[in-house]
Structure 1
Amino acid sequence: MNQTTAGVADDLDPDIRRFQREMAAAYGRYPDFDRLPLTERRRIAEEVRAPWAAGGPVMHSTETLNVGPFGVRIRIHRPDARQVLPALIYVHGGGWTLFSLDTHDRLMREYAARAGVAVVGIDYSLSPEAKFPRALDEIVSVVRWLRSEGAAHGLDPQRIAIGGDSAGGNLSVAANLALLRDGDAPLSAILVNYGAFDRESVYPSYERYDGPEYNLTTAEMAVFWANYLRGAQDFSDPLASPMRAEVAGLPPTFFAVAACDVLADENRAMADRLRAAGVPVMLREYAGATHSFLEAVSISPLADRAFAEASTWLAAQISANNDNDSQ
């Protein structure tokens, strides 16, 4: 999400380094970016991300609806003509503050095509206008809508996974924790792409990969957490910082870890916590990858491999031939 690059990161995959440079050059057209009003920064972020969200798999159909008590806008991508499809709810990243269904549209279509599932993108309310737990409440409301009304839209309510990147990874885990808190069954699986799980930046990766050449910085994460949380009353809330949660009962979880990311260590730590609680975990670490590297799939074999590995795992969790979604 950074707008400048301070040098060459020799440990980056060459294609990811190219992605970083091109993103930095695009943001570099706006040297006063950090001083612009948030609405303008959001508009620029959409513009910069647009070329990377273009292309990729063509869907059989795409539908936009407003659903649930909050009237949340969702986008449903269907990869083929099957009348009933399992579904992946996808929650975009952006520090709870930026980005949209459009910036992450290619990511959603990649998963739909590769895993053979419908992908339901959620246009949740952004911070700081909407503080915790508004976005989480909206996502849980979409889960409940899918369970009660999804069949009428060709979506199997018994085979629903959830996933997201960065803040979206946080919200995906928190949505399952909220379901468990309320006595509801968790979803069939969780897909985490370089998630944000702990407000405290106490991990070595925060120092090692803190710099614009690695995309996401410690200072940016501090701003994002400040935007998202209402104040000190939320700092230890496990639905805000899932690293503090009791995680037993969560469904099988896939972690895609970008090795050159300030969030790398907390993803490893979160995976360890789930394993210790008896949750089935698949963790794949991508050497040379930065935060947001999946967006480089149009030029990066590394991102292509990450999509392929996650999609194979996801299909095994919620495919039509899987009789036990929790295994």
Structure 2
Amino acid sequence: MPQDALAPEVRQLIDMMTATFPQVGTQVADAAEARRILAAAPKSPAPPIPVADVQDRTIPGPAGELPVRIYRPAGSEASAALPVVVFLHGGGWALCGLDSHDGTCRAFANATGAVFVSVDYRLAPETRFPGAAEDAYAAYLWAREHAAAIGGDPARIAIAGDSAGGNLAAAVCLMARDRGTAQPTFQLLVYPVLDHRRGTDSYRDNAEGYFLTATHMSWYWEQYIGPDGDPAHPYASPGTAPDLAGLAPAFVVAAALDPLRDEGAAYAVRLAEAGVPAAYGVYDGMFHGAIGMGALVPAAATAFADATEALRKGLA
């Protein structure tokens, strides 16, 4: 889609987000500085979306206590055993956290009727690959073991994430298969990072101008993998895993105006070819990061509705 074909209000939103976001890989090289810039950015004045209950706590992780935030959806009976979704936030493995994705988790919990467990995994470059993936896997194991204690159904545990969180969600499924753990009931991958090679048409088509840039992605990979890591490891680049058989059923959201568009769609196709029930949608007019912006980006509203429907059906 040519930039001038975007609705003016969507173009204005992209430009506003770009202006307040740290320009990592060019003007900003240090992750701590990028986090300071993000923390100082204006926050939405809208009140939080009401849910039935929110609890901050810690769970055992591979390197000590791992913070999580647990959401129970609005209107749910306190005694009901609800499906559980372990959610992994985006931010290029280096940015964001529980607060940045609080609204996303609240909206998804209410729309799906599931308990959401948002995971504050360790960030890069302070903790490089596979630290975040191991944290995500530990959170998944904890949710399986303790579902009943948080009002969840241990037979219905899904994994979900956006962007780098989608990468971690996909990695958890591979790790579970390889380590002999039960698969999640479902995996929801929202514009996931899946391939370190960054050579697709969408990387060329959407290299800049739509909030997330190809330069940003290069910087994110550098933070996560570091100078000595292996970006081609399947748990770092699930899209390069040689075998995708035996993984959880999946739905992949791909934003048309996103460098990551093609690798998300390709992953869903490969899952299906490996015998995994998998579907995807490519949403015209949607850019990276817009899943919670349906009031301003019509395509994002459609993507959110499709994602929640897929997750509800997958957990039924």
Give the alignment's TM-score, normalised by structure 2.
0.91
Asked if 1:58 corresponds to 2:50, the answer is yes
1:197 aligns to 2:194 (yes or no): yes
Q: In the superposition, relative to structure 1, how do residues 27 and 146 fare at CA in structure 2: closer, same or farther (>3 Å)?
A: closer
Encode CA deviations 1:168-196: one digit per residue, 9 max, x unaligned.
11000001101111111110111111111
Q: State the Cα RMSD in Å.
A: 2.2
Match among 181, 185, 188 for residue 184 of structure 1: 181
Mapping of 1:254-269 within 5 angstroms?
254-269=251-266
1:71 to 50, 65, 72: 65
**Other structure's SS at 1:71 match:** strand
The alpha-carbon deviation at position 222 of structure 1 amounts to 1.1
Distance 1:183 1:56, change over 3 A: same
- The partner residue of 1:247 within 241, 244, 247 is 244
Question: 2: distance between equivalents of 1:86 and 1:49?
Answer: 34
Q: CA deviation at 1:11?
A: 3.8
- Residues 211-243 of structure 1 show CA distances to partners (whole Å, capped at 9, x for unaligned) of 1x2111112111111111144551321111111
- The residue that corresponds to 2:223 in the other structure is 227
Aligned to 2:20: 26
Question: What's the CA shift for 1:47?
Answer: 4.0
What are the residue-to-residue correspondences of 1:312-327 with 2, within 5 Å?
312-318=309-315, 322=316
- Asked whether the equivalents of residues 55 and 106 of structure 1 are also in contact (C-alpha less than 8 Å), the reply is no
Contact 1:214-1:261 at 8 Å conserved across structures: yes
Aligned to 2:113: 116
Tell me which of 123, 126, 129 is aligned to 2:126. 129
Amino acid at match of 2:72: R
| Number of equivalences | 309
Q: Which residue of 2 aligns with 1:285?
A: 282
Which residue of structure 2 lines up, in the alignment, with residue 238 of structure 1? 234
Residue 275 (structure 1) shift: 1.0
SS at match of 1:20: helix
Amino acid paired to 2:304: F
For 1:159 and 1:15, locate their aligned partners in 2 and report how far apart those are by CA, in whole Å: 39
Deviation of the 1:101 alpha carbon: 1.2
Point out where structure 2 has 5 or more consecutive residues left out of the alignment. none
State the partner residue of 1:9: 3
Say yes or no: does 1:96 pair with 2:93.
Answer: yes
Matched letter for residue 296 of structure 2: I
Structure 1: gaps (5+ residues): 1-7, 323-327
Aligned residue in 2 for 1:307: 304
The percent identity for this pair of structures is 35
Matched, 1:152 2:149: yes
| Greater RCO (Cα-Cα under 8 Å, separation 6 or more) | 1
Matched, 1:44 2:40: no
Equivalent residue for 1:169, pick from 162, 166, 173:
166
TM-score normalised by structure 1 residue count: 0.88
Mapped to 2, the partners of 1:55 and 1:190 lie a distance apart of: 29
